[in-house]
Amino acid sequence: MEDSRRRLNDPKAAEAALDFVKFCHRRKRVAWPELYDEMCHVASRGLYHGWGFAELAEHGIAFGLAEMPRLAALVGEVSRQDAERRIRPLVAVMSKPGIDGDQQTPELVQGFGTLAGAAR
């Protein structure tokens, strides 16, 4: 079995590692360290492409102490991307013209991907 640290520069392994973390995060939307437990659960049951711990290690995912910082960083990145993806369609920034026609401070508007007042 190849050492997972050798796979860090392999773009396919990096993509597989990120996809694995995304898969686990979609199953259980929690942050580090709770997501680590979910990743171990998924690996122990082969729920991601049938891969267990050995197969995941072959694709750059390892659960040992030395790999924790890398795994935590991946979880942080996936959580950040998910938060941005969920917020983007829910919040729109609008500016209302002032009395003299100048733009006022932007107003936060809750919606589902549409700008409030756009149909006016």
Q: Which of 71, 81, 80 has the alpha carbon at shortest distance from 8?
A: 71
Burial track 45-67 (b if 16+ CB lie within 10 A, e otherwise): eeebeebeeebbbbbbbbeeeeb
Q: CA-CA distance, 33 to 75, in Å (whole number)?
A: 9
pLDDT digits (tens, 9 = 90+) for 99-114: 555 555 555 544 444 4
Per residue in 14-56, pLDDT (tens digit) is 888 899 999 999 998 888 888 999 999 999 999 999 999 999 9
Per-residue pLDDT at 95 exceeds 60: no
In sequence order, what are the beta bridge partners of 89? none
What is the residue extent of each domain of the chain?
4-87, 89-120
Does the pTM of the predicted model rise above 0.85?
no
